[in-house]
Amino acid sequence: MMKRVLIATGCLFFALGAPVLKAQAKDASAPASATAPAQPAATTQSTPVTAVTNGESKQSYQLSPEKLRHAIAITRVRNILTIVGTLWGLLVVWVILASRLAVRIEKWVVARFHARWIQGIFYFAIFIVITTLADLPLGLYGEHVERHFGISVQSWGGWFVDQGKALGLGVLFGVLILLFFNWLVKVSPRRYWVWSWLITIPILAFGIIVSPYIANIFVKSEPLEMHHAALVSRLETLVARTGTNIPRDKMFLALQSEKSNGVNAYVAGMGRTKRMVIWDTTADRLPEDETLFIVGHESGHYVLNHIPKEFALDVVIFCFLFWVSAKLGEWIFKKNGAKWGIESLDSRAGFTVLLLALTIVATFLTPAMNAVSRHFEHQADVYGQEAIHTLVADPQKTAVASFNHLGELWLEDPNPSPFMEFWFGSHPSTSDRANFAAHYDPWANGGKGEFFDK
């Protein structure tokens, strides 16, 4: 969905030592994908193709035969990496426990440091480093594939620097959060899951607020007006129409072309940190009308209150998540604690059992959370298409062309796996989105839109 979802929930789950419910952060675009090897991504070859279904002509998402082969190939790899990565994350934590590595690490830190909080800092820092390194081979292969198909253009040196930054942030914030939550288990052995849930609420809010600053650690951004003054003027018209209240000095251009051939735009932050961010690949390679639609989509998330709605939903889900994880973790501890050499649940090794349980429960909650995300994304598509009505010559053609360009640049499979879409898809498929856009014209025959009268 929006960048803030990935950053806020991602930082939380990473800090907890559990794999993120990886709703792919497509924003208005598709997930990271590919084009032709070693060639800049083009935006002029995947014009919508007219198809006939049940006697009706409609425009939908189409790819050239060559790009279709690439899309199918890279989608297969992405699907495998997604499934294997999910299972691998569970297995790594299980092995850390079952091999008694967790107990050995705990004994090592206890033997060297007297203060319990210092012991916790070193234990959880080691834990985060181990789990991060265990994920590195899959990340390396995924980056190799993205580079092979021309999506990623980042140097390997730059990629490793980004991994180091992510690890540093994970250790910095993750250790503090894990240390505090472990302390809650010790001081409140029966209600720790309630206190953990309550503490999670401000953590999520904090993640939303600081998300623009975290993004700047990885991608440099500059004022959009410095590079695209004409686009800024058109965006101001869109901002006025949608009421998102984002002034010129809050419109930024992310210099993503140094790393990717993909395109994207999003609205991030909250309150004083709220801003509009457009990748330079989007501003440079897509027609302005299509950029307006993408930004209109992201504006829809704000205007339709998807952020507070999702925040409220997250609060409820995390309550259930922590409660079930506590019950499951206690059951796993009773069954395996002695065999794994763990003396108590409030020890660091015992707390790692709770992290394993959290990972398992979060994995099974993924489809439900993504179903809600897909609903919000569809609403934002509708809003975006209505928002550009009167601002572009043909909103339908603009939206369809946008989805075709986005799908082509990210190499989205026109026929994705229903299972993958159900379990891991945070967005409707590009084909479904393009097909809907091609037929959505609420103003025909004197009608009006769902969100705009004209």
Query: Which tens digit of pLDDT belongs to each residue from 12-32?
Result: 444 443 333 333 333 444 443
Name the strand (E) or helix (H) holding 53: strand 49-53
Alpha helices in 243-305 (DSSP H): 280-285, 288-303
Q: Residue type at 5?
A: V
Residue 211 or 8, more confident: 211
In a domain, 183, yes or no: yes
Annotate 358-400 with DSSP letters as a single string. Answer: HHHHHHHHHHHHHHHHHHHHHHHHHHHHHHTBTTBS-HHHHHH
Does any domain span residue 163?
yes
Residue bearing tokens 């489809």: 367
Domain tally, the chain = 1
Angle formed by the axes of helices 156-187 and 348-387, nearest 10°? 120
Structure tokens, 126: 């080691």
pLDDT in tens, 359-404: 999 999 999 999 999 999 999 999 999 999 999 999 999 999 999 9
Q: Is residue 224 part of a domain?
A: yes
Please report how the helices 306-336 and 288-303 are oriented relative to each other, as an axis angle in degrees rounded to 10: 70
Question: Environment class of residue 101 by beta-carbon count within 10 Å: exposed (0-12), middle (13-18) or buried (19+)?
Answer: middle
Question: How many whole angstroms separate alpha carbon 428 and alpha carbon 433?
Answer: 6
Compute the C-alpha angle 58/62/63, nearest 5°: 165
Does residue 70 lie within any of the structural domains?
yes
Which stretch of 80-84, 204-208, 386-390 has the lowest confidence by average pLDDT? 204-208
Residues 51/392, Cβ–Cβ less than 8 Å? no
Q: How confident is the model at residue 150 (pLDDT cuts 50, 70, 90)?
A: very high
Please tell me what DSSP assigns to residue 152: B
Residue of 11 and 59 predicted with greater confidence: 59
Q: Which domain holds residue 291?
A: 3-446
- According to DSSP, residue 37 is labeled T
Q: Is 192 a domain residue? A: yes
Q: Please give the average per-residue pLDDT across 71-90, as a whole number.
A: 97
| Mean pLDDT over each residue of the chain, to the nearest integer | 87
Domain-located, residue 453: no
Is 371 within the bounds of a domain?
yes
pLDDT band per the 50, 70, 90 thresholds, residue 91:
very high
Report if residue 452 sits inside a domain. no
